[in-house]
Amino acid sequence: MSGGSLNRITTIARNTFLEALRQKFINVLVILAVALILSANFFRQFDFGSSELKFITDFGMGSILFFGSILSIVATAQLFFSEIENRTALTILAKPVYRWEFIAGKYLGIFALLTVFTMLMIGLLAGMLSWREGALMERYPDDFAEGRLVSYGGLFAYGVLELLRFGIIAAITMFIASFSNTNLYTVIVSFFVFVICQLQYVARDGWNDIGNPLLRGMVWVMALLFPNFQMFNVAELMIFPGEQTLAAASAWGIFGYGIVYIIAFNALAVLAFRGREI
């Protein structure tokens, strides 16, 4: 990649990120996510003891996944189609800019937005957990005889994996946007694909029971085409490393799996966008 390319990609990425920060919908989404994580504070009224930390984590991670997925899909579709519909893409692509540079710049801008969102949420959740854990340690010292239950390093490491999951969703949305004509179509189809990816493990389980080799092959291809998001559901293993922990190799494996899908879907987006008439 030439220095010129890098400069153009970062300029487009920076502009996309700044444009995202100005979108009211995105700001509302972030505020809602923050409010939901902070509302986990009300769990203390149920007096769960040390289990409260797991409730807060589940609730917080659920909120992050819910709002992060919406953000990944809607922000990608919105920021892509605003360029097409307002014809700013026409002005940019009439410059000596390759189409892959445009896609890469847009994607990196969106990924920067998702990074800020995820790290903000994880930071808030870490703050909440730390505060409650401190209070619970004083109240139930027996439960914490072996020290803190929450691994904050694990929490942030899990945040990175969650970010990669959002990165895959954004890359899928970018691919769909690269050939579709409307924002709405892109959002709807992307949500369907997201649900398929979330439930893909069901197909994987069923695959083992299929006798017909043709059908088995088809299911295998589908399972390869849609990333298995179930792989990313390792929050408890990483944040509460008790008897069961996630090996570092497994975490790196999930990381690599995410990166491969991000690159693959962005490459498909570039291929589809190359033939698109602006």
Site of interaction with other proteins (CB under 8 A): 4, 7-8, 11-12, 15, 18-19, 22, 86-88, 90-98, 277-278
Place of tokens 């389980």: 205
* CA torsion through residues 264, 248, 117, 73, sign: positive
Q: Which is nearer to other proteins, 34 or 189 (CB)?
A: 189
CB of 24 to other proteins, least distance (A): 13
Closest separation between CB of residue 75 and other proteins, Å? 17
CA distance 150 to 256: 25
The upper half-sphere exposure of residue 78, i.e. CA atoms within 13 Å in the direction of its Cβ, equals 18
- Distance between terminal CA atoms of the chain? 25
Q: Which is nearer to other proteins, 7 or 39 (CB)?
A: 7
CB 250 within 8 Å of CB 241: no
Helix (H) or strand (E) holding 144: none
Cα–chain center distance at 205: 24
Closest approach of Cβ 14 to other proteins, in Å?
Answer: 9
> Residue 209 or residue 277: which is nearer to other proteins going by CB?
277
Nearest approach, Cβ of residue 189 and other proteins (Å): 18
Shorter beta-carbon distance to other proteins: residue 1 or 94: 94
